[in-house]
């Protein structure tokens, strides 16, 4: 199952940005491991969106739990899982 993970900042952006290097390094490791496919800030700068690879609900929940932003208490997360019946080649 693929997942759309939406995070909403619960702290001011200048506070969130202090933890951004650790958050980005974590994302890069998860992309390298294949658990994340895409990641970026929302256009509104009120949070971010992560698109997972084909992983279990438990793995998606673990991703949300170990995000440095989450560990620092800077975000809240929501998750929408979906079965990708149609997908681009290579996914």
What the chain holds in terms of domains, given with CATH numbers, is 2-82 (3.30.70.1060)
Q: What backbone phi and psi angles, to 5 degrees, belong to 74?
A: -100, -10
* pLDDT value at residue 53: 93
Predicted confidence band of residue 87 (pLDDT cuts 50, 70, 90): confident
Q: Tell me the helix, strand and coil percentages in the chain, rounded to 5.
A: 40, 30, 30
Q: What is the pTM of this model?
A: 0.91
Kindly calculate the radius of gyration of the chain based on its CA atoms and give it in whole angstroms.
13
* pLDDT value at residue 90: 77
Cα atoms found within 13 Å of the Cα of residue 81, Cβ hemisphere only: 10
């Amino acid at each position: 199952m693929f997942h759309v993970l939406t995070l909403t900042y619960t702290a001011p952006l200048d506070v969130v940005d202090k933890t951004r290097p650790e958050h980005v390094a974590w994302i890069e490791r998860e992309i390298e491991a294949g658990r994340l496919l895409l990641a970026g800030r929302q256009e509104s700068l009120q949070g971010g969106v992560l698109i997972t690879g084909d992983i279990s609900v438990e793995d998606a929940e673990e991703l949300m739990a170990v995000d440095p932003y989450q560990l620092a208490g800077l975000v809240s997360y929501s998750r929408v899982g979906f079965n990708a019946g149609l997908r681009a080649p290579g996914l």
